[in-house]
Amino acid sequence: MKLLVVGSGGREHALAWKLATDNKVEHIWVAPGNAGTSLENKISNIDIKATNIEALAKFATDNNIDYTIVGPEAAIAAGIADYFNAHGLKIFSPSALASQLESSKSFAKDFMVRNQIPTAKYQSFTTKNEAINYLDNFSAPWVIKDDGLAAGKGVVIAQTKLEAVTAIEQMLADNNDKSNKKIVIEQFLTGEEASFIVMVDDKGNILPLATSQDHKARDNGDLGPNTGGMGAYSPAPIINEQLHNRIINDIVQPTVNGLQQQGISYQGFLYVGLMIDKQGNPLVLEYNCRFGDPETQPILARLESSLLDLIEHGISGTLNQAVAKWSNNAAVGVCMVSKGYPNSYEVNKKISGLHKVTTAKVFHAGTKLTAADGTLITAGGRVLCVTALAADIKQAQAIAYQEVSKITWNGMYFRTDIADKAII
Ligand code: AMP
Ligand code: GLY
């Protein structure tokens, strides 16, 4: 079987790596991939951007690709599934219409309210003054969100009114008669976050994957600006069986049903970002219409079943027959990033020490090999995700950090407290 994985991050490296372990898989192309995917057995990169949908479809046709699996939201929101389906190409990805759950915060919030899905109180705005006046409804901190896709970086948690006003002014700066950018202001929720990711098919069957928890803030102690994610672990101990059932019944199922009632069928990974409040109630912070990055890395490190089988069920509408078996071990993934990320950072730094890593899997993100002599260099904000699997979170964390300490480049940065929350 031949597969195409779309994207270039740690998530796509993990997807391709896991799919390649299946004997039924002959070859996987990753578009455009990274240095890590180019170095794996049975995997090669193809130099097509994730959003160049026509070129990807042509590649899939010309190379008799059986299934395409999509990582990044930009390709999904741009309608890759719609285009592939229209051309008879099998793909595991939601349609552009369904992906509004992620690509528009106001669409998602209105949808949740209509379907009685628990979420923070909110209002959407296109004008600065109304937005600034609405701040009086809440006390600090204020949560201000860009309506559109922002790679996890469009959310400002403002500690002071001045910061909140500045964020509103910046996000709505270009608004005039022609452009109508939207923002969402919502109540600040407290509690513990968890990522709940499921596979959904177009018959509405739901297959929950292992639970996980991301670390969105850049610095230790959840401080600093929000990023795409600085590390993750699986399972998330906060989600016990009772809470698991509640999340399915009160959130995931009503989400899939609510879409169907609007005439939208959902097929693909669906990621529900949750806040579990002090009373143990789950509230939705956000939807993502894809697998999480870096959650994919520790989740797939624990998957014992064939990911290809699960995806085949997802594409065939038979997820009700699929069984996902998970290792009892825990996994921890620590992201190593370029200093400065999520703001500006330098690239083209030589990465050394990777060959010394023996007890963790290093998933690549922003990496490439130089054309001249194949030296491994940095090429993005998030560079590597060092992922370890061990008997419990504490041991997995210790191994991950021991392996992280062997890798270096000029200007590398990482949090030193990934998974502490699950241990203390
Ligand atoms: P989002 O992209 O909407 O998930 O927001 C990114 C991150 O911002 C979340 O993972 C939370 O850490 C934080 N966040 C978003 N909305 C809220 C909220 N209403 N209350 C508290 N924290 C939030
Ligand atoms: N880890 C969060 C995300 O994938 O958006």
pLDDT in tens, 12-21: 999 999 999 9
Give backbone dihedrals phi and psi of 29, rounded to 5 degrees, phi first. -105, 140
Give the whole-angstrom CA distance, residue 10 versus residue 19. Answer: 14
The ligand 2 site (C-beta within 6 Å) comprises 152, 214, 228-229, 288, 292-293, 295
Give the whole-angstrom CA distance, residue 251 versus residue 111. Answer: 12
| Cβ atoms 384, 364 nearer than 8 A | yes
Cα 11 to ligand 2 centre (Å): 10
- Per-residue model confidence as pLDDT tens digits over 317-349: 999 999 999 999 999 999 999 999 999 999 999
Q: CA 115, 117, 119, 123: dihedral to nearest 10 degrees?
A: 0
Give the whole-angstrom CA distance, residue 382 versus residue 215. Answer: 13
Paired with 145 in beta bridges are: 155, 184
pLDDT exceeds cutoff 90 at 351: yes
Among 230, 295, 300, 385, the mutation site with the greatest number of ligand 2 atoms within 8 A of its Cβ is 295
Confidence of residue 154 (pLDDT cuts 50, 70, 90): confident
By percentage, how much of the chain surpasses pLDDT 90? 92
Amino acid identity of 234?
Answer: S
Q: CA 362, 207, 76, 155: dihedral to nearest 10 degrees?
A: -70
Q: Is 326 in the pocket of ligand 1 (CB under 6 A)?
A: no
- 373: enclosing H helix or E strand: none
Instruction: Return the ligand 2 atom nearest residue 11 CA.
Output: 4
Q: Which residue has the tokens 């002071």?
A: 160
Question: What is the pLDDT at residue 80?
Answer: 98
Confidence of residue 226 (pLDDT cuts 50, 70, 90): confident
Instruction: Return the ligand 1 atom nearest residue 217 CA.
Output: 12
Give the whole-angstrom CA distance, residue 101 versus residue 269. Answer: 12
Pick the closest to residue 97 from 107, 87, 89 (CA basis): 107
Question: What is the pLDDT at residue 152?
Answer: 57
Among 293, 335, 385, the mutation site with the greatest number of ligand 2 atoms within 8 A of its Cβ is 293
pLDDT exceeds cutoff 90 at 110: yes
Confidence of residue 155 (pLDDT cuts 50, 70, 90): confident
| Cβ atoms 402, 376 nearer than 8 A | no
- 234: enclosing H helix or E strand: strand 231-234
Amino acid identity of 116?
Answer: Q
Alpha-carbon torsion (216, 20, 392, 206), positive or negative: positive
| Cβ atoms 336, 407 nearer than 8 A | yes
CA distances 145 to 67, 88, 181, 250, 367, Å, are 35, 37, 11, 24, 30
Pick the closest to residue 234 from 164, 292, 190 (CA basis): 292
What's the whole-number mean pLDDT along residues 336-363? 97
Half-sphere exposure of 379 (CA within 13 A, CB side): 18
Q: Which residue has the tokens 């699997």?
A: 389
What's the whole-number mean pLDDT along residues 365-390? 97
pLDDT exceeds cutoff 90 at 151: no
Give the whole-angstrom CA distance, residue 380 versus residue 347. Answer: 6
Question: What is the pLDDT at residue 234?
Answer: 97
What's the whole-number mean pLDDT along residues 118-140? 93
Structure tokens at 100: 């509004």
Give backbone dihedrals phi and psi of 31, rounded to 5 degrees, phi first. -115, 115
Amino acid identity of 139?
Answer: S
What's the whole-number mean pLDDT along residues 244-265? 97
